[in-house]
Every structure is written in structure tokens, then in C-alpha cells.
Structure 1
Amino acid sequence: MSHKLLVLSDIRARAGAFVAQWREAEGYERGEAQSFVRDLLRVFGITRSTAAVYEKRAQRASTGGQGYIDALISGTALIEMKSAGADLVKAEAQALDYIESLTQHERPDFVITSDFRSFRLLDLTADAGKDGLLEFSLEELPAHVEDLMFLAGYRRAKFGSTDQEAASIKAAQLMAKLYEHLESTGYDDHQASIFLIRTLFCLYADDAGLWERDLFSRYIEERTSEDGSDLGAQLTTLYQALNRPEDNRYGRADDLIMAFPYVNGSVFGEAVDIPYFDRASRELLLQAAYFNWSSISPAIFGSLFQSVKSKKARRELGEHYTTETNILKLIRPLFLDELEERFTKAYAKKRELEKLLEHLGSLSFFDPACGCGNFLIIAYRELRGLELRIHERLQQLDPTRAQLSLDAGARVHVTLTQFYGIELEEWPATIARTAMFLVEHQANQAVNLTLGYAVPMLPLQDSARITVANALHADWSQIIPPTTSLYVMGNPPFLGDNTRGADQLADLHNAWGGDKTLSRMDYVTGWHAKALTLFRDPRYRGEWAFVTTNSITQGDQVPRLYGWIFEAGWRIKFAHQTFAWSSEAPGAAAVHCVIVGHTQNAKANPRLFEYERPKAEPHEVPVRIGINAYLQDAKNILVEKRSAPLSSALAVVEYGSKPTDDGNLIIEPDQYAEVIADPVAAKYVRKYVGARELIHDEDRWCLWLDGMDPADLNRSRTLRDRVEAVREFRGASRASATREYPHHHLFRQLAKKDANYACIPIHVGEGRRYYPVALFDADVIASNANFVMNDPDGFQFAIMSSSMFITWQKAIGGRLGSSLRFASTLTWYTLPLPSVSPSAREAIATAGHGVLEARALHPERSLAEHYNPLAMDPWACPQVVDG
């Protein structure tokens, strides 16, 4: 059989011949079933006996008895034949009974039953609530070949479906086992990468219609020894052949080698050493070959395939990959929704649809942190899907277009050459290029099935432009040619100010230039800098959006970053507020992220997406004013830190007392009885409140030895031992200020108040409707996990307990993950409190005391319980303060 793709019209013709051949048959199950099935599969290009297993012995789950499956195509279809006039519902039940005894890779997605006169097709992958059932007569077969195209390797798996995810995970696990074998033999890592990519291509091609079905597995079975000793050499020979046109190959006498089509050097060009295989590893490769590779998602599989080199990642394959849903959160509002809307408006206008096709071909897409290419893959897939719908609609408006099939390849406007990426490492970059080939093939298959003509698939013509480089050092204009329709997008590395190293800081300086202050700037902002630089070049026009850590839209980073962005003429086109994004990296925790898209188009309607909780689904909210740098529908005001309160009515804030003592001045609950039993030490015991004790009302104490009688050290072994332990601990410190601090009986930093003071936790949960703060007297010691400020009349407490303050805190304050993070210089000193008259101050303080009185009604409750947003007593809310 030719390796040329069987197009739909060819298959229909074969189906018609099949009907003519079998319409007069007697229809005996035992005498004619296998011939019927073989001829049926030949219609769809399955000509080799090993592609399907006939008369496969299987056990019935219901009875435990033995039987035979008439034909099984592993991972694809089970075919059960009965004599003419038999009950196909019972035949189907029998087939389902057999499935339970099959291995995971053998289990089919479809069950076909037939009595020679009619067919019954059951789709086992159908969504819940759909029976996935189709029945038709033998005479109707040509009209139903599209429903059976999975037999020819055409799979219309639902993108993002659980079935496709499961298939992708299984595929990655198989590749991980192959890598483990190569690694165990000492095969060079670079060459192992190349070998795996080539093997992946062949495995996929075997099932996806790129060449004769199961040609690769047949080559392994027929051209290699069972002990695997010559497998490496034979695969090397095959991979060399795939890099040469058929008329220029070595070994042209080998018909099996010549059955493979020319692919080209983008996958098979580089020479590599011959890998070592044995019997077990040959069986492993055959196991992979028997798996159905046509159902994988290139995006999901690419993420997983990137991880096979790590032992830890291999153990966790399937637990971590970037979901397509999250990627669509970026590409839809950046460009796809607008293109879809344009398609809808042009639906009845042939000329406008043709203009839209031309427009699709003029766009460029660039991911400067592309990894294994997920954003590019999904963008390409969605654009090809839109293009196909446009072609379908044009055929409806002008049926003569269907007859013009000779230039099918030229009709494709969205090509791989429009897609660019930068990746730091070679391995994921290679995966990205290969995955783009796979998703292109899936898109071409959809064209062939839907429009009835074939887009050439081999040899590979185009390739996504993936450059291996450091994106923050590379000149982006040397990678992407000038264009006026460029979309820059992606998911740059999540490194904060505290997690980046010296190399990353150097990268940032290189991206931003030497005149910028970059302390506390996230690593991801380097990609913002490079985008700004690229678009300053008048030859480039377009828009850009990144998934980033949410800290770039919070705290003191905002005025610096967005000051530069707004100064360059950009505005926010769309934004997703904080949500939980699962990183591609295996073992990585979910990161709290935002997505922000930028445009210079003043007419673009801004779109804002909110989340009730970080892991909730987004919902779009109307934007009346515009999206500011804090991702609020509000004026674009940038709030900078202050060293003193903006309002004279607000008190100065400082950190609580810091012990730096290795726990020796702190008294835990299980130590309290022992310490309090020492009458000398007991004089110095004070209640000690860290953030946890403050929020959850837990007990802890400390030894507060400020003003201690020196003689008490000799009177109390408890005091003496603990102070000596502090001295030893501080003496070993790497910080000179700590080593040289002379007062080992004192906290390292003292912030004790002599009167009532407000105690403010640094971090609180994001869902709080009010900021939980406490008022303490001077005997309570607050740790440096809290802030403190003098508050003799309770006015500061009242202001901080108001909805006015929590609104300000949530809008401009920083966060730790999704938790609110109080900062005196940013959220307190900048609070735009109107001037307060003496009478207003007294009323506000009185309202604050009302809050304390409401709390006192339930002394058994902690602040966490009082301020639980789902269970707050409505009468306990400090409404008067807000008035």
C-alpha cells in the first residue's frame, strides 16, 4: 500500500466496493467472519494481519468462561461478528464482557458489532449522558465512513477531555520507561533526547495516518531479533532512511524500509550513536508501539515528556502539567475572542470571511519563555480550528469551492512559520518543535475529514521557530521578523525577589538596563522589559500578555513596574485577578498568579475577570472606568511607599519585639508550669503574642527581663540557664550586630509599649471582611510577627477595623500567596484618611470600643472565629466605624 494518505473520497470508494462484494454473501459467522472483517479494515487502510489481532482468546467477566474476540485493534476497536439476523445488542454485551479481561493498552475506545447486513457502533469515550451509539445498514456504509475514520488513524478526541489527558499520561509513562533504559546503558543524554523524539514521531505516525498503519511496529517485529541485540542498529538505519527521499536511500532493496515516506531533516537530520537494547527493552518498545498514540494531546504530552529525565518527575507523571483551561485564559482575551467575534459578524459575508482568512495568515505569535511549547500549541490549534470553520462556512456559501481540492495545501493560511519561541534549554525546545508537528498533523486531519480534501502531511515543510537562548539576553528583534500584528504571550519563570539568584538578578539588569532600581522586583518583570524594548521599535506593533506572580500587581512593585509600562503608552487590555495556577514543574506547588494583557489601542474595551477563591472559576465583571495597575476597575493611580503617615491622625507603626534567642526567652505551654514554679523567674513572665497566638488565641509566654535585678540571675537557675543559652546562640551568629549585642537577657529588638497599643498581624487570610486587630495593655508583649502602634484612645484600632481600611489593603497591599500582607509604609502611611475633627475622632473611637464589646460577648472565640467571613455575626460588624 502507498504511504500516501487515504483521503475521504478514496475510503468511500473502497467502502462502495466492499458493499458490492458482500451484499450477496450468506453471512455465516464461523465461515466468513474473518474475511468480512479483514476486507472491512482494508477499506480503512489496515492491510496487515498484525495491525489487528484475529480470534484473540479472552475471558468473559460475567462467567469466567473462555471465548474469542473476532478482531481487536489494540487501544482502538473491538469487532464482534454474528451470523445474519443475529441480535447485535447481545453481541455488544458479549464484547463488553470480553473487554474486562484486556490489558490497559489493549482496551478499545469503540465496539463494532455486525451481522453482515448491518453495523452497530458503540463509542466508549462518549461524554456522560450520551449513549455514543450508531446503527446503520451495510448499504449505508459509504455514507458512514466518517464515523469509522478512527480505523484509519483519525481521532477526534475532545481537547482537554479526561480521556485525552489519560492517554497523554500513559504515553509519557511509556516514554519515561524508554528513557530509563537509555539512561541505564550510559547513552549520552543529548543523543538520548534525539532518539526519544524520533521514536515518538514514529510511534505517533504509526497510529495517526502519516504512513501505513502500524508500519513502525511491523518494522520492529520483522527486522529485529527477539533478543533485541540488533534493535539499536536497525532503528538507526530506519531513522537515516526517513531523512532521505525514497529515490536517494541506502538499502533500496528493502521493501519495508522503502514503505516509509520521506520525513526530512528537521526530526531525523542529526547523526547519533547506536543505542543498546536487549530483549526486555525491545519488549518495552513494542509495548509502546501497541499503544494508540493518535489520541494524545500534544500540549499535555509535551509538558509530561519534558519531565521524563527527572527521577522524581517520572514518579509523578500525570500529576503536574499546565492545563489547557489556564492557557485559554490568556489567549482568548488577548486575540482569540476578537477573531471569533469577527467570524460571527462576517458569517453571511463571503468577502469578509476571505479577508479574515488572509488576516489569520498575517498574524505572528511569540512565546519568549516557551518551555515545551504549550501556549504556541494551543494557540495554533485554536487558530486552525477557527480557520477550518471559516472554510466550512465559505463552502456553504459557495459549494463550488469544494471542487477546488488540488491546491489544498495553499489554502491553509495559519502555518507553523507564524509561531516563534525562546527556550533556555535544548530538550524542551526540541519537544516544542516536535509537538507543533503533531498538532499540525491533527489540524490537517480535521481539514481532510471535514472538507474532503487532503493537505500534504509529509515531508514536513514548515517548523515553528524555537530558539534556544536566554530570553533576557537575546535580542528579540533578531528572532522575530518585523510585523505589525504580533502577539507576545507566555508564562515566564516564577521567581520572586527572595528566590532569584545572582544570575537572575544579572538577567534583570540586562533586560531593564542599568538605570533602574530592581530591588524587590520579580524575575518575571524582565520579560515585561524585553516586550517594552521590542515594541519601541516602530517596525513592531501588537499586544502582549503574561501569566505572572500576583506580586507584580501588589505592593511597592506596582508603581515602579507600571510607571514604566504606562509611560511607554500601554494600557491594560484585560486581566485575571489572583488565582491558583498549577506550574508545569513536577513537585511545584500551585502559585498564586495573575494574567495581564497590554495594548496601545485606546478603543479596546477592557475586560476584567474575578475569582471568589483562588481555585474557583473566573467570572467576567463589567468595567466602567478602566483596569488600573492593581487590577481594579478604577482610576490609574500608582501608590508609592511613605516613611510617615499621610494623615496626621494616624500613628506611627513599628515591628513588635524580636527575640533572636533560639527560643530560650520564650515559654511554650508545656514549659509554663516549670518556669512559673520558680518564684524569681515568675516575676518576669509576660503573655507573649505572635501572629498565631493573636489570630487563634493560643497561649504562649516569654521572659521579659528589661529592668531585671542582676542578682536575680544568681537566684534563679531557670533565668541563668536560659540567658546563658541565648549568649551562646547569639555568639555563633553570622551577623556581627547579633554577635556584638551586649544584653543577652533582653530581646534583640525591643518594642514594648507603656500604654494601650494596637497589635496588627502581618498576614491575614484573603477572605477577611475586616482586618483582625487587637488592643493590648502594656503587660502583653507582641512579637515581631506583628506590628504595633500606640493607641491610648482606641482610634487607631477603630480605623484599622473599618471596611475602609480593608478595602485599601486589598486594593494596593502586597500578599503572601493569596493572604493579605500589611505594610506600614505602603498600606497604613498611604491611607487617604480625610481630616478628622475632635468630635469625629471621639465617635470613631467609641465605635471601635463597640467592636471590642461585641467580641466580649463571646470570649471563647478567637479572632479567626470572630472574623470568619462565612460565620460573622451581622450585629458584630463595625458598621458605625464606616459611617
Structure 2
Amino acid sequence: MTDHRLLDLVDACDFRTLFIDELGWDNPDRPPLTFDVDGVDYTLNQVAGYKGLRIWRCTTLPPRPVQRQLDVLVGKDNLERLVIFTDEQRQEWRWPRRAQLGSMNAKLVVHQHLVGDRHTHLTDRLRAIELDFDEDLPLVTLLERMRDAFDREAETASVAAARLMGTLYTHLETAGVGEHDATLLLARLLFLLFGDDTDMWKPKPAHAFAEFLRDNTTPEDLHKQLIELFGTLDVDEDDRDLPADSPLARFRHINGGLFHGDLRLPQLPGGFRDALLEASDFDWSVISPAVFGSMFQTVKSKEARRHGGEHYTTEENILKTIQPLFLDEYRERLERAWDDKGQLTRLHNDLAKLRFLDPACGCGNFLIVAYRELRALELDILKRRRDLDMAAIAAGKKVERAQLSLDVTSEIKVTLDHFFGIEIEEWPARIAETAMLLVDHLANQQMTEEFGEAPDRLPIAIAPTILHANALHTDWATVVAPSDHVVILGNPPFIGQYTKTAAQTADTKAIWGARYNGYLDYVTCWYAKAIDFYGAYAGRWAYVSTNSICQGEAVEFLWRPILEAGWRCRFAHRSFRWVTEATGGAAVHVSIVGFDKLTAPVPVLWTYADGGRGEAERHQIPNINPYLCDAITVLVSSRTAPMSESLPDVDYGNKPTDGGNLLVSRDQHDNVATDPIAARYLRRFVGARELIHDLPRWCVWLPGAPETDISASPVLRERVAAVKEMRENSKKAATVRKAATPHLFDERRHPDVDYLAIPRHVGEQRRFFTARRLSPDVICGDANFLAPDPDGFVLGLLSSSMFIAWMRGIGGRIKSDLRFSNTFVYNTFPFPPITREQHQAVTAAAAQIITSRENHPGSSLADVYDPDRTPADVAAAHEELDKVIDGIFGIEGVDDEVSRQQLLFKRYAAMISTKKG
């Protein structure tokens, strides 16, 4: 059947034919349902079903608040259902969004279909729930298909919500409302809009705010009416002095500080009220509070608003932090305690002891998701205890109480006042506080579904502590008392060592004190604060950080105090792409590392293929070292000379600092070459790009050139004069001094023998290092390192799998690409002493690599070492080289990187120990 045929049946409202004849569902098994809502009768007819999952159609399209009420009424006798509301022009398909990953939000997802629309995604959803005529699908499988088909609507709902908020913010900007007041106003409006759609006001009217906007405000006086409303919400209902017929009397007291404090609003543009009314018609119940923060951040950005608000930190990535840090452990305890009420009680009591601190909380996403998941876990505990009570009663045993439909408010032990955040900016701090209140309400709603009763949080008496302050200037112990039960988590600022402001550099030095080293990024301040906060306590903590915290020279200076304080790596996600914006957004490469002082559980390491873009692979391993490798714990220190006496020195290439005047591009080549004097000094120049991609470039290389040659050549004279001017105008004193020798490269380290040109960076996906031997008449730029290599021995060493395994293990990175360092990666390579025969074997294997490359003329190193297209003879040459190098290390048959790294770390530790001895 064609997609158009499906949509034709949808447009004709012929749902029986659609679902039964075309999609293979069963005939209806229930009579029509009629409900009275606000004095209007609505009839719903079942059109199809499958093993208890029923599809209902209402032949009218009531307002969405009424739709929600009707769905609740249907749901009293039909938990799993799809309800379709229709009129002649429009349909709204409503599906109750069930809990995912512990989510408390079980409200409706709506898919709107316009009659005649042939670009709809509805056909994809219908195809997903099509049944073969002989298919006996389990209900749970069909429900999964339904969720996949219809829950996707919630993902696009956050985009729509961001657009609505963006419109409101734009109107506030137009009216000249300052950021503080705009922050406060939108936070309050969000709370009210969400409250309208999540039954927060009981026993007051369900949609009090929307009705107040529609019936009791005007475009001209909206600002005054909102301020009056907010003032009323901040006053206890018994203390209000309102006329009996006041529209404000229907509102409950909110408390909690959200509506406390003055708000300065000018008269708002007429379009603001229209936009607010449109927002009140939106179903805010489908938006997870975990995305409120990112949604509001897009609201503040005009660029983000143009992209429709698709900017967010995914809950999936937050769960990568909280699941291995604590959630998995408590879920596993629940499984073990499933049939033991005493163990269930102990588990519940342990949850009550936990406290959570996010010292860079932003809009609260980590706290929100953690709270949501723990409330879901707690609900499962309460439900299981109830079930055990009921089973005992059925068996004739005496129990003290049975939690079937009783008020379990007193049993809630995971509460908002156990959650703490510190945030430097007011806007996200306010949103974090608001979102936490709302996720608490959703958790209570879920409890109502299970037990019939739940705590009434209005007026708000229990709230999280979100401190608007600089976390680095705050004593965390004044926010939450240190103990073994405090969990610290979050995503501190991504600011690199060389992008810190002067104030941030000063903060870094102050936080680390005598432990400070210039390699430490700004994010490491949060590590130092966590170490100091816990002291002798054995809590647990985890941060999302740039991958610099487990790569390169900084590792030693960050991890040494961590290890000395008794912490171990509990889990880690090795470098992967952390996407913060869905549309046009930059992604940084991060690592997630969690710490504790325990010996169990076994550490878990997640690794990612494809430069951090691939799926995570989970490894349970004995130890995760500071470089996030499955190897012994050892800290590598940079060296000024190679640790192995078998290796020559490696240095930087030649640095021009010439303003481009000593370098010669392709279009400048002929001009220089036709000058007979300049032509004698024209040399091929190789930077990193030229080396890897075999691109043409040249330079004028003038060491030893007499002044008379430079003066006699118009080309050389002009270029050298330009270098002199450029250097004289530099703001760097060292560069100015070099103006005295403008004909020379700023830094010169060129060998007089064949040498190895070593690029500073190598693509993460490459199996082998892309270095090349060059003759001394080719000038190596400072985007490369170089090493004298008259016989090819260094080429053989760096081309080995053993060396690149070491580089992958400890070296720094730029994004996911490997970064070579002479002092850190090369000089620390734990290469054994070798015999003359072994040296010759390496050079012979390196020669074969050169020969195999030459078998592919016209191919650059980038072409030859493309991970998907490396020629077979080149790969074979590298395999023979690996046999030689592996043999020098005393191993045979090793073909995996982890084994090589384990050997290298052990050998490094042994060599360091010998040298210290």
C-alpha cells in the first residue's frame, strides 16, 4: 500500500479501514464512551485494538485542556491507548508518553495532522506499527514500536517551546526590559505555564493561568496585571485581602522565593500578550525540565533563536555521568533486594543519606536528571514494598500496613533539599531552581498514579539550594556539609590553558596554590576544590571535562594530588564528542571521569571509535590509569632528552617569523626562480600540510648568503626589507631583536644530513605515523619536528605500532587528533637498549616502508595512510616493521593496542625506577 493511500484514509477519518484492513490490527472490543466535561458531552468510539492497546476516535476537536481531561477519563479503564481527535480540517493524535530512563513525565505527546498534508511524518509512524497478517506480536513489543513512533514528537516539542520563549524574550528586548527582570519574568511564566498543564493547582481550576490571561488581562495593562498576580502568588491565601469575586482568588500560594521580590516591567508590546496566549495553548507537560535550561539559553541568543532553539545538552550524556557514578549501583541493589523487605528498607534509608552538589550547575540539568532518576528509583522501592505487603496479606500473614492506595507522603526520603548547586550567572541559576521545582511536581504526579496520593508541594516548603555565586570564591562546605554521602557532579567551564582571562589565571593559581603548574586548565580548579572539600571523607565525584585532563603533560600535575589523596578512578569515558548544539553548533572533545575511595565495583572504561563519534564500548578492567588506559597507574614526566640512549634528539623545525616574506607560494615561484641570484637560494619548504598532502611550497634560505647577493637581487632585497619592517613593528621584544638579521629564519635547527620530518599532529584514525625522511636541501618548517636520520632508524621507530600506541596513550590531542611532543611523547618512549643487529633490522624494515610508498607514485602520505585505503604492500611493510620492534621489546604476536600500552607503561615504570635508583 502506498503512503498516499494511508493518508487518504486518515483524511477521510476512515480509521477502521486504516488500522484493521491496512495495518493488520484487531476489531474493537469496547463500546463507545461518553464523558461530560464542563457541561459538554464527548463521545469516543474505539476503532481498533491489539491485546489491550486500543485506538479511540473523538469526532470533535476540543481545546487541548479538554483533550487531556478526556484522555485521563479514557485511561482509567484503558492504560495503553491512542486517542485521535478530529474535525474537518485538523486531527490531533495523542499518545501517553511513558516513563523512559526513569522519567516522570507520562503526559501526552500530540501529533497534529492537517487534512491534505502530504509532507507529514505520520506515514512513518503508521508504517512502524503495521502488523503482518500472521504476526502474533507480544504487546510489549508493539508498545515499544508505538513509543518509537510517537514519542519522537516530544523531541520536536522542545524546539517549538524554545521558539515560543524566544518570541517572548524578543518582545521584552523591544520593550527595554533588563536581563535581570527578563530572567525573573520568564522563569515565573514558565512555572505557571507548566503548572497549568500538569495539574499543579488542585483543588483550584486546572488552567487558572491561561484563563486569567484570556479573561482578565488587556494588552495595555498586562504588565501591571502580571505584577499584581505575582504579588498574590507570594502571599498566603489566609493573609490575602482580595474581593470575593477577584480572579486572583483562584490562585494558590506558591512560596519558595520564586515569586518574591520586585519586578520592574514597563508597558509591554501588544504582541507580547498574543505570544503569551499562544504559549498558554502549548502543551508544556511534554517538555522535560531537563531541557528548560538549554532552551532558555537559546532564548537569550539571537543566533540560536534563528536556528529554532535546537541547542541542548542531551540527557544521554548526563546519564553517562550519573549512571556509573551512583545510579547503576543503587539499581543493582534494588534487584538484589527485590524479595527482601529488610534490604529494600536499608536501600531506601541509604538513598535518604545522599546529598548532591553541582558546583558549576548552569541551568541545573545534572541535578534535574539525578533527582528525577532517584525519585523513580524510590518509587520502585515503595511499589515493591507494597507488593510484598499485599503478597503477605494474601498468604494470611500479618503485616503492619499495606501500601495499596495509602498516602505515602511520609515515605518520601529523596527530597529537593538534598540537592545543591552553585552558579556564577543569575539567569541559569534562576532556571535551575525553577526546573527543579517542576521536576519534583512531575515525580509527585507519578506517585499519584501509583498510590492515589502524593505530597502537595504548594505552598513550596522544600526547595533546592541554588547559590548564585562564583564557585571558586565559595567555600563549598558552607553550601553542603562534607561527608561520605555527598556526591559531586557536573560540567565545569571548558576554558583552555591559553584562553583563560587574567582573572581566571589568578583564580587557577589561587586554587592550586603551591601545587600550581602552568599546564593546568581552568576546569582543574573544580578538581582541586573537590579534593579539598572531601578531605578525609570518602565520597564520590565526577566531572565532564575537556579531554586535556587525561592527556599530555598536564596529567601529572592534576592527577598526582588526586592519587595522593586516596582517590581511584571509578569509571571513565575516554575522549568523545560532546555535542552541545543540535544545529550548527560546535562540539568539543571531552572525557568523563569519576572518582571514589573504594575497592569495588570493578572500574568501567568506555572507549569510542571514529574519533569519538562512534558508539561507546564498555570494558570492565582491573584499573583505569590517569591516561584512561587499561594499564598500571603511573605518571609520565616530560624530559629534556630521550630516556632511551638508543634514540637521537628530536627538535622543532625552522621557524620563519617573516610575515610570509621568506616563504614562496606556488604563484610566486616563477617570479623568484627567474631572478638568477634569488634562484640560487630557492629551496623546497615543507610545513605539516605540505608534508602530509605533498603540496608545493618554497622558501628563500639565506644562511651564509653574502650581503652583496641580497643587495643585487631585487627579489631578495624587497623580501628581506619586508621581513625587517615586520619584525621591527612586532610587540614581542624577541622578534624585534631578530630584525637585525632579517634574511634569516627566526629559529634555525636544520641538519646537514638526511632527516625525518615529523608532523606535530596526526589524524586519530590513522594506524601509522605519517612521517617522511627528507634530504637537507628541503627546509623543514616549525609545524613539524625534525630528527637527524641518515639511515632511516628514526623513521622505523616512529612508524611502529608500538610508538603510536604510546602516543595515543599519553600524548596530548587537538580535538581527537594525536599531538606529537619531543619532550613528552618521544623523550619518554621506553625503548630498550638495542644491539647493532637490531638497529640494522629496524633500518632495513624502514627502507621497505619507503619502497612500498614509492610503489604508489602521485600518492601523498594522506592518501597512502587513509585508514580505509592503505595499500596492501604498505600495510605489509608496517607489519614486518612491527615484528622487529615488538621483538626488541621481547614480545611476539601482539596485535592489539591495549596490550602494547600495558607493556609500555610497565616498562616506563621500570625504567623510571632504575634511573631513580
Equivalent residue, structure 1, for 2:253 = 262
1:214 to partner: Cα distance: 2.2
Change (3 A) 1:75 1:355: same
Q: Is the 8 A contact 1:71 1:80 kept in 2?
A: no
Matched, 1:866 2:864: yes
Change (3 A) 1:853 1:704: same
Equivalent residue, structure 2, for 1:551 = 548
Instruction: Write the distance in 2 (CA, Å) between the matches of 1:793 and 1:165.
Output: 60
Equivalent residue, structure 1, for 2:422 = 422
Instruction: Write the distance in 1 (CA, Å) between the matches of 2:627 and 2:129.
Output: 45
Give the secondary-structure state (helix, strand or coil) at the position aligned to 1:626: coil
Give the secondary-structure state (helix, strand or coil) at the position aligned to 2:89: helix
Instruction: Write the distance in 1 (CA, Å) between the matches of 2:69 and 2:633.
Output: 65
Matched, 1:243 2:234: yes
Equivalent residue, structure 2, for 1:572 = 569
Equivalent residue, structure 2, for 1:217 = 210
Q: Is the 8 A contact 2:607 2:616 kept in 1?
A: yes
Letter in 2 for 1:416: L
In the alignment, which of 243, 265, 280 is matched to residue 289 of structure 1? Answer: 280
Matched, 1:611 2:608: yes
Equivalent residue, structure 2, for 1:787 = 785
Instruction: Write the distance in 2 (CA, Å) between the matches of 1:375 and 1:160.
Output: 26
Gaps of 5+ in 2: 1-31, 45-57, 72-81, 94-107, 114-121, 132-145, 394-400, 885-917
1:158 to partner: Cα distance: 9.3
Equivalent residue, structure 1, for 2:161 = 171
**Residues 680-706 of structure 1, C-alpha deviations (whole Å, 9 max, x = no match):** 221111111000000011111111122
Please give the residue correspondences for 1:682-831 in structure 2 after superposition, counting only pairs within 5 Å.
682-741=679-738, 742-831=740-829
Letter in 1 for 2:762: V
Letter in 2 for 1:674: N
Instruction: Write the distance in 1 (CA, Å) between the matches of 2:498 and 2:39.
Output: 60
Letter in 2 for 1:193: T
Instruction: Write the distance in 2 (CA, Å) between the matches of 1:796 and 1:195.
Output: 66
**Residues 345-372 of structure 1, C-alpha deviations (whole Å, 9 max, x = no match):** 1111122112212211111111110000
1:747 to partner: Cα distance: 1.1
Q: Is the 8 A contact 1:125 1:163 kept in 2?
A: no
Q: Is the 8 A contact 2:109 2:153 kept in 1?
A: no
Equivalent residue, structure 1, for 2:411 = 411
Q: Is the 8 A contact 1:592 1:818 kept in 2?
A: yes
Instruction: Write the distance in 2 (CA, Å) between the matches of 1:129 and 1:246.
Output: 51
Instruction: Write the distance in 2 (CA, Å) between the matches of 1:381 and 1:93.
Output: 30
Identity %: 43
Give the secondary-structure state (helix, strand or coil) at the position aligned to 2:538: strand
Letter in 1 for 2:530: A
Please give the residue correspondences for 1:672-687 in structure 2 after superposition, counting only pairs within 5 Å.
672-687=669-684
Q: Is the 8 A contact 2:686 2:779 kept in 1?
A: yes
Please give the residue correspondences for 1:228-377 in structure 2 after superposition, counting only pairs within 5 Å.
228-377=219-368
1:603 to partner: Cα distance: 3.0
Q: Is the 8 A contact 1:80 1:92 kept in 2?
A: no
Give the secondary-structure state (helix, strand or coil) at the position aligned to 1:308: helix
Give the secondary-structure state (helix, strand or coil) at the position aligned to 1:597: strand
Equivalent residue, structure 1, for 2:830 = 832
1:240 to partner: Cα distance: 1.4
**Residues 761-782 of structure 1, C-alpha deviations (whole Å, 9 max, x = no match):** 0001011211111000111001
Give the secondary-structure state (helix, strand or coil) at the position aligned to 1:759: strand
Matched, 1:521 2:517: no
Letter in 2 for 1:501: T
Instruction: Write the distance in 1 (CA, Å) between the matches of 2:262 and 2:732.
Output: 55
Equivalent residue, structure 2, for 1:855 = 853
Instruction: Write the distance in 1 (CA, Å) between the matches of 2:855 and 2:482.
Output: 69
Once structures 1 and 2 are overlaid, which stretch shifts more, 402-411 or 387-396? Answer: 402-411
Equivalent residue, structure 1, for 2:663 = 666
Give the secondary-structure state (helix, strand or coil) at the position aligned to 2:215: helix
1:266 to partner: Cα distance: 2.0
Q: Is the 8 A contact 1:157 1:164 kept in 2?
A: no
Once structures 1 and 2 are overlaid, which stretch shifts more, 625-634 or 274-283? Answer: 274-283
Change (3 A) 1:131 1:376: farther
Letter in 1 for 2:552: G
Once structures 1 and 2 are overlaid, which stretch shifts more, 187-196 or 297-306? Answer: 187-196
1:110 to partner: Cα distance: 6.8
1:70 to partner: Cα distance: 2.2
Once structures 1 and 2 are overlaid, which stretch shifts more, 454-463 or 234-243? Answer: 454-463
Superposed CA RMSD: 3.0
TM-score normalised by the chain length of structure 2: 0.80
Equivalent residue, structure 1, for 2:458 = 458
**Residues 425-476 of structure 1, C-alpha deviations (whole Å, 9 max, x = no match):** 1111110000001111111111111232233132222111111111112111
**Residues 288-328 of structure 1, C-alpha deviations (whole Å, 9 max, x = no match):** 11111111111112212134233233334533211000000
1:161 to partner: Cα distance: 5.5
1:276 to partner: Cα distance: 1.6
Instruction: Write the distance in 1 (CA, Å) between the matches of 2:575 and 2:786.
Output: 29
Q: Is the 8 A contact 1:656 1:783 kept in 2?
A: yes
1:216 to partner: Cα distance: 0.9
Once structures 1 and 2 are overlaid, which stretch shifts more, 589-598 or 504-513? Answer: 504-513
Change (3 A) 1:702 1:181: same
Instruction: Write the distance in 2 (CA, Å) between the matches of 1:48 and 1:501.
Output: 64
1:734 to partner: Cα distance: 0.9
Instruction: Write the distance in 1 (CA, Å) between the matches of 2:515 and 2:92.
Output: 66
Give the secondary-structure state (helix, strand or coil) at the position aligned to 2:484: strand
**Residues 235-283 of structure 1, C-alpha deviations (whole Å, 9 max, x = no match):** 2221111112222213242353222222114211112234422432211
Change (3 A) 1:190 1:592: same
1:600 to partner: Cα distance: 0.5
Instruction: Write the distance in 2 (CA, Å) between the matches of 1:456 and 1:596.
Output: 38
Q: Is the 8 A contact 1:320 1:585 kept in 2?
A: yes
Give the secondary-structure state (helix, strand or coil) at the position aligned to 1:472: helix
Matched, 1:640 2:608: no
Change (3 A) 1:394 1:125: farther
1:577 to partner: Cα distance: 0.4
TM-score normalised by the chain length of structure 1: 0.83
Once structures 1 and 2 are overlaid, which stretch shifts more, 572-581 or 459-468? Answer: 459-468
Letter in 1 for 2:523: V
Equivalent residue, structure 2, for 1:207 = 197
Letter in 1 for 2:35: L
Q: Is the 8 A contact 1:109 1:125 kept in 2?
A: no
Instruction: Write the distance in 1 (CA, Å) between the matches of 2:474 and 2:85.
Output: 62
1:94 to partner: Cα distance: 9.3
Change (3 A) 1:858 1:111: closer
Q: Is the 8 A contact 1:178 1:284 kept in 2?
A: yes
Instruction: Write the distance in 2 (CA, Å) between the matches of 1:92 and 1:602.
Output: 52
Give the secondary-structure state (helix, strand or coil) at the position aligned to 1:740: helix
**Count of equivalent residues:** 777
Give the secondary-structure state (helix, strand or coil) at the position aligned to 2:849: helix
Equivalent residue, structure 1, for 2:110 = 109
Q: Is the 8 A contact 1:303 1:372 kept in 2?
A: yes
Q: Is the 8 A contact 2:175 2:269 kept in 1?
A: no
Instruction: Write the distance in 1 (CA, Å) between the matches of 2:372 and 2:83.
Output: 36
Instruction: Write the distance in 2 (CA, Å) between the matches of 1:481 and 1:93.
Output: 52
Equivalent residue, structure 2, for 1:13 = none
Once structures 1 and 2 are overlaid, which stretch shifts more, 485-494 or 580-589? Answer: 580-589
Matched, 1:630 2:627: yes
Moved over 6 A (4+): 78-81, 91-94, 123-128, 156-160, 584-587
